[in-house]
Structure 1
Amino acid sequence: MSQAPTTAAASGSHSSVAMIARQAIVNAQQVVIGYELFNRSRTATGHTAATDVILVFTALSHAGTEELVGKKLIFVNCTHESLAGGHLELLDPDKVVLEIPPLGHVAVDEVAARLPILTGLRERGFHLAFNHTVLESAYAAWLPLADYIKLDLSLLAPDQVAVLISYAGRHSRAELIAEKVETAQQYDMVSTQGVQLFQGYWFARPALVEAKLLSPTQNSIVQLINLVRQQASTDAIEEVLKKDAGLAFNLMRLINSAGFGLAREVTSFRQAVMLMGLKKLFRWAALLLTASRSGGVPSSVGQTAVVRGRLMELLALESMSQEEADQAFVAGIFSMLDVMLGMPMESALGLLSVPEPVAAALLRREGVLGELIALAEACESSDDAVFDRAAATLHLSSQQINWAHLQALAWADHVTEE
């Protein structure tokens, strides 16, 4: 796989190392069929960063799928929030198994509310894996979507395992994976009952893989986001890539990775931009901005900003022009720029060329865009008083707002076509 063309000049980019652990999942013949990936990088506070699809996607785009998993399946732990990010569109779904967690407090209506997102992912070709709770009656709607069901032998007693294996065999088409297999006795117990896939210390401990990262400057990413939102020419976008080695390197590694699924290698920036398209390029840049944070800012900050931008865009479309809705998106996604860049908002906006209404909304929460930001913040914090006031000012009903919020969270599943 070739690296970025040499026309990219270093401009403050720096390299670092991400630690990704992988643990093999094997069949009865002990042939590896896939790897579960875990993030083992440390945050600024010294804690292991939470594993989710965004972190693993970032590693894949930097390191290249071949280095981590070869031609095997990739099993990725997810949160329900991360399933709504546009980054999933950048992966080849045929190679990815999304591990879907159970809901904290099971409610039939919440299970039903998540169903369209999960169904959409499956229809797009992603494989879905669940733990044994998917066999409970409350999750009956999810069970037909299961390609894999994991049985954690550290949590389940042998008699429970036997019941679950029997039930899964009668009521699902999923392949069963026994995980946390640590002894020969455990292996014998589940294999004699028909389990065909296994994961655990008995077979292999997680192995660390170093993924070398070349980090672009945040200024370059922000400039790229600006150009893409303005639907700038390929020449203008190519110029930004040529000036930042990190940005160019990451784009070329991603588009040439096995996860992107192209048949032939892309060797020029222009080719990469044209093949990816503005919509995917924007989503990639927005994700890269959240990953390039410094000072230990949580990845959830960038994720929230992206969802906020889409929410505001959808609400603006209820009564405003497309151009004004575009401004609403920009105001939303940049409303947490001060936190992401670690500088006052006024200084952060010095990096950008934004319309006056956007600047007024970001700096002083003025105008319609300011009200939309306040409403988006209220949706996140469940502040009923601010929610009611902003909704009344904007002449929006609770039903309109809640539906737009759900659509924003499920962005990747509802907006997939170029």
Structure 2
Amino acid sequence: MIEDNFILREPLLDPKQRVIGFQFSWLQKDPNAETSLENLNHLLEFVAGHLNDDDKGFLLGDSLLFLEAAPELLQAEGLSLFPPKNTVLILHKKYFANEATLEAVKKLRTLGFGICLRGAEITTLERSFFAYVSHIEVKLNASNFASQAKVYASLKQSAVKMVARNVATWQDFDACSALGLDSFVGKLHLTPRPSSAPKALNSSQTTILQLMEMVRKNADVQQLELVVKRDPTLAYKLLRYINSAGFGLRTEVQSLKHAVQMLGYSPLYRWLTVLLATASSSGYSPVLLETAIVRGRFAEVLGQMKMSKAEAENLFVAGMFSLLDRLLGLPMQEVLSSIQLPDVVTDALISRGGIYGPYLALAEASELNSTLVGSLAESVKISAEDVNAAHLASLVWAKNVASAA
């Protein structure tokens, strides 16, 4: 049942570090509990219910979903709720020895679902598997890279796509990209690329920080507009975010003054935080930005269950700022010295302490494939079902916002 499982995710990246989907796995509260076909159906129905809309269809657009699968899941009726072209089931090589599993794989492939082969030795892979799979999971072996390169080159000529897991360094990422690997799963995106460029705030970031401080002090909107006019592109980008589907406004916001009239100052502050993250002149990883937006929204939605609206909005800022040092290429202390934040937000950022810390840590753990998710959810007294609903809703919300970047 969904109340006994937490959804964990890892981003799926293309060679340009763009998010092209997510890999979902299930963390059971009781690791020794057996998962029945009925429970798997409940899980699939829950996820599909949050990612589909009767009018809009699949709410993650063209994103791929990689789902860790056992043979039982292949028979689950809940799979029919997922768009086949967006869904890839990860299945270990050992299961292909079972005739019933192989027949289920054939049927799903006929319907358009993808199958990702896990656990195969890339250098000794039986080519007969290629008739049943759309993807193959590969692991980089630095000590045997030359021979692997030849195999990757031959695989590139086939219809099977290669997915790299646990690529440890950006040098390995670039090497795999050059060899033709199609996508990457892991946490490398949380490690910024090394850069020799001097680390300092640019003029746009300085302007945004000034605006954030003015908003915090409820400065007159005419004063805000005077500052925004120094950089017209900032006003354009800010209005794009505010008008994104992520905010759900029925009336298009035409100006900064209009935004303040409709939303007030607190929501404006959050969008300036997003704008600050995208204003890097040295370039930022698209996946890092999307991760920050998901983390901020996830923490905010969790907070809405227990806190006031204003406090929950502070959690969004905390989530965004938790990755801002990596997005800007600056130490966290330097980022925090640039703007005045409430002490409770600073406590959450520095030590995951204070009243906001556990909510931020919970959102963070769900993207790190961490076994701490259950204990963190228990510490803030939020059920697994509510955590999972907040997680999926945040992915949809962030997808809309990121498309406005």
TM-score, normalised via structure 1 length? 0.44
